[in-house]
Amino acid sequence: MSIKTVREALNEAFAEEMERDAGVFIMGCDDGVKGNPFGVTMGLADRFGLERVIDTPISEPGFTGMGVGAAATGMRPVVEIMFCDWVTLAMDQIVNMAAKMRYMFGGNVEMPLVIRVPIGAGGGQAAQHSQSLEAWFNHVPGLKIVAPYTPADCKGLLKAAIRDNNPVMFFENKRTYAVKGEVPDGEDYLVEIGKAAVSREGQDVTLVTYSSMVKTCLQAAEKLEKEGISCEVIDLRTLLPLDYDTVVASIEKTGRVIVVHEACKRGGMGSDIVAEINERAFDLLDAPPLRVGALNIPIPYNAVLESAVLPDVSDVINAVHKSLSND
Amino acid sequence: MENEKAEQIKSIIPSYTPMRELPEDLSLAEAKEMFYSICQIREFELKVRDLWRANKIRGMCHAYYYGEAIAVGACHALEKGDYITSTHRGHGHALARGASPGRMFAELFGKAEGYNKGKGGSMHIADVKSGILGATGIVGSGIAPAAGAALSAKLQKNGKVSLSFFGDGACNQGPFSETLNMAAAWNLPVIFLCEYNQWAIGTDYWRVTKEHDAYKRAEGFGMPGIQIDGFNVFEVYKAVRDAAARARAGEGPTLIEARYMRMLGHHVGDDQNYRDEKDLERISVLYDIEPVTRTREFLESAGVPKEELEDIQKRAAAEIQEAIAYADTQCHEPSLETLYEDIYADGEIII
Amino acid sequence: MPKYLVLPKIGMNMEEGVIDEWLIKPGDKVEKEQIVLRAETDKAVQDIFATDGGIVYKLLVHPGDTVPCQEKIAILLEEGEEYTEETADQNKASAEPKPGPGTADVPERKPGGKAAGQERKKGKVRISPLAKKMAEDLGIPIEELSPEEEGKRIVKADVLRYEPPVPRESSVFVPFTPRRKAIARHMLDSVNHKPRVTLVTTVDCENLIAFREKLKKQTRVSYNEIIVKACAAALRVYPHMNCITQEGGFCIKEDINIGVAVDTPDGLLVPVLKKADQKGIFELAGEFGSLTEKARNGQLSAEDMSGGTFSVSNVGMFGIESFDPIINSPECLILGVGCMKETAAVVEHEICVRTCMQISLSFDHTVFDGAAAAKLLKAIKDLLDDPVMMLA
In chain A the domains, ranked by start, together with CATH numbers, are 2-183 (3.40.50.970), 197-325 (3.40.50.920)
The CA distances from residue B191 to B41, B70, B78, C217, in Å, are 23, 13, 10, 142
Class of domain C195-391: alpha beta
Suggest the residue from C105, C109, C149 to mutate for an interface test with chain A (most A CBs closer than 10 A).
C109
Q: Would you say residue B284 has pLDDT above 60?
A: yes
Computed over every residue of chain A, the mean pLDDT equals 96
For residue range A169-181, list pLDDT tens digits in order.
Answer: 999 999 999 999 9
CB contact under 8 A, A71 and B144: no
Chain A contact set for B117 (CB, 8 A)? 106-107
- Which pLDDT value is given to residue C123? 59
- Which pLDDT value is given to residue A90? 97
Query: Distance between CA B169 and CA B138 in Å, rounded?
Result: 11
Chain B contact set for A93 (CB, 8 A)? 141, 144-145, 175
CB contact under 8 A, A109 and B181: no
CB contact under 8 A, A283 and C116: no
Query: Distance between CA B41 and CA B24 in Å, rounded?
Result: 25
Contact (Cβ atoms closer than 8 angstroms) between residue A148 and residue A191: yes
Nearest Cβ partner of B128 from A67, A105, A112? A105
- Among residues A198, A240, A181, the alpha carbon closest in space to that of A12 is found at A181
Instruction: Name the helix (H) or strand (E) containing A17.
Output: helix A6-20
In this prediction, residues B337-346 reach a mean pLDDT of 93
Query: Distance between CA B122 and CA B51 in Å, rounded?
Result: 12
Q: Would you say residue B248 has pLDDT above 80?
A: yes
How many residues in chain A?
327
Buried b / exposed e over A88-113, threshold 16 CB at 10 Å, is ebbbbbbbbbbbbbbbbbbbbbbbbb
Positions of A marked catalytic: 60, 129
Query: Distance between CA C52 and CA C249 in Å, rounded?
Result: 38
Q: End-to-end CA distance of chain C: give it in Å, rounded.
A: 69
- Which pLDDT value is given to residue C27? 87
Contact (Cβ atoms closer than 8 angstroms) between residue A235 and residue A196: yes
In this prediction, residues B76-85 reach a mean pLDDT of 96
- Which pLDDT value is given to residue C94? 40
Alpha-helix runs per DSSP H in C194-280: 206-218, 223-237
Query: Distance between CA A246 and CA A208 in Å, rounded?
Result: 10
- Which pLDDT value is given to residue C33? 83
Alpha-helix runs per DSSP H in B1-100: 2-12, 28-53, 68-77, 91-96
- Among residues C267, C262, C335, C333, the alpha carbon closest in space to that of C304 is found at C262
Position A207, amino acid:
L
Query: Distance between CA C16 and CA C177 in Å, rounded?
Result: 10
CB contact under 8 A, A319 and C111: yes
- Which pLDDT value is given to residue A186? 87
The answer to whether the bond into A241 is cis (omega within 30° of 0) is yes
How close, in Å, is residue A137 to chain B by CA atoms?
A: 14
**How would you classify the pairing of strands B83-87 and B162-167?**
parallel
Query: Distance between CA A211 and CA A188 in Å, rounded?
Result: 23
- Which pLDDT value is given to residue A276? 97
Is residue C365 annotated as part of the catalytic site, yes or no? yes
Side-chain half-sphere exposure of C152, counting CA atoms within 13 A: 19
- Which pLDDT value is given to residue C68? 87
Q: End-to-end CA distance of chain A: give it in Å, rounded.
A: 47
Question: Using alpha carbons only, what angle is made at residue C325 by residues C202 and C175, rounded to the nearest 5 degrees?
Answer: 150
Nearest Cβ partner of A327 from C148, C152, C156? C152
Nearest Cβ partner of A104 from B120, B148, B149? B120
Contact (Cβ atoms closer than 8 angstroms) between residue A324 and residue A287: yes
Chain B contact set for A164 (CB, 8 A)? 345
CB contact under 8 A, B136 and A142: no
Query: Distance between CA B171 and CA B160 in Å, rounded?
Result: 24
In this prediction, residues B344-350 reach a mean pLDDT of 94
Nearest Cβ partner of B141 from A57, A97, A103? A97
Instruction: Name the helix (H) or strand (E) containing B293.
Output: helix B291-301
For this complex, say whether ipTM is above 0.85.
yes
Query: Distance between CA B120 and CA A106 in Å, rounded?
Result: 7
Domain map (residue ranges) of chain B = 27-328
Chain C contact set for A285 (CB, 8 A)? 128-130
How close, in Å, is residue C165 to chain A by CA atoms?
A: 24
Chain C contact set for A325 (CB, 8 A)? 152
CA dihedral B47, B51, B54, B55 (to 10 degrees): -160
CB contact under 8 A, A327 and C147: no
Helix/strand/coil for C277: helix
- Which pLDDT value is given to residue C42? 74
- Which pLDDT value is given to residue B127? 93
- Which pLDDT value is given to residue C337? 95
Q: Does A72 touch chain B (CB under 8 A)?
A: yes
Query: Distance between CA B75 and CA B69 in Å, rounded?
Result: 10
- Which pLDDT value is given to residue C12? 64
Nearest Cβ partner of B149 from A61, A69, A142? A69
For residue range A3-41, list pLDDT tens digits in order.
Answer: 999 999 999 999 999 999 999 999 999 999 999 989 999
Crossing angle of helices B233-248/B68-77, nearest 10°?
30
Suggest the residue from A108, A166, A193, A240 to mutate for an interface test with chain B (most B CBs closer than 10 A).
A108
Chain A contact set for B116 (CB, 8 A)? 104-106, 108
Nearest Cβ partner of A326 from C106, C110, C147? C147
The answer to whether the bond into C330 is cis (omega within 30° of 0) is yes
DSSP strand E in chain A: where? 2-5, 24-28, 53-55, 76-80, 114-116, 144-146, 168-170, 180-183, 197-200, 205-209, 231-235, 238-240, 257-264, 290-294
Q: B–C contact (≥3 CB pairs within 8 Å)? A: no
- Among residues C4, C12, C3, the alpha carbon closest in space to that of C306 is found at C12
Domain map (residue ranges) of chain C = 3-91, 195-391
Chain A contact set for B348 (CB, 8 A)? 166
Architecture of domain B27-328: 3-Layer(aba) Sandwich (3.40)
B22-36, B73-87, C140-154: the lowest-pLDDT one? C140-154
- Among residues B43, B27, B116, B115, the alpha carbon closest in space to that of B76 is found at B27
Class of domain C3-91: mainly beta
Contact (Cβ atoms closer than 8 angstroms) between residue A31 and residue A10: no
CB contact under 8 A, A66 and B151: yes
CB contact under 8 A, A286 and C107: no
How close, in Å, is residue B213 to chain A by CA atoms?
A: 23
- Among residues A13, A48, A12, the alpha carbon closest in space to that of A32 is found at A48
Selecting among C186, C193, C240, C365, the annotated active-site residue is: C365
Suggest the residue from C118, C125, C126, C130 to mutate for an interface test with chain A (most A CBs closer than 10 A).
C130
- Among residues B100, B99, B103, B155, the alpha carbon closest in space to that of B131 is found at B99
Suggest the residue from A21, A25, A86, A103 to mutate for an interface test with chain B (most B CBs closer than 10 A).
A103
- As beta bridge partners, residue A228 has none
Computed over every residue of chain B, the mean pLDDT equals 95
**How would you classify the pairing of strands A205-209 and C258-260?**
unpaired
Q: pLDDT 10s digit of each residue in chain C, 392 long?
A: 778 888 887 766 677 888 888 999 888 898 888 889 888 887 778 888 888 888 898 889 988 888 888 888 999 888 878 777 655 544 443 433 344 444 344 445 544 444 444 455 555 788 999 999 999 999 999 988 999 888 899 999 999 999 888 776 677 788 788 778 888 888 898 999 899 999 999 999 999 999 999 888 888 889 999 999 999 999 999 999 999 999 889 999 999 999 999 888 777 889 999 999 999 999 999 999 999 988 888 888 888 988 999 999 999 989 999 999 999 989 999 999 999 999 998 888 889 999 999 999 999 999 999 999 999 999 999 999 999 888 77
- Which pLDDT value is given to residue C65? 86
Buried b / exposed e over B231-259, threshold 16 CB at 10 Å, is bbbbbbbbbbbbbbebbeeeebbbbbbbb
Residues belonging to chain C with any Cβ–Cβ distance to chain A shorter than 8 Å: 106-112, 116-117, 128-133, 147-149, 152-153, 155-156
- Among residues A137, A139, A257, the alpha carbon closest in space to that of A196 is found at A257
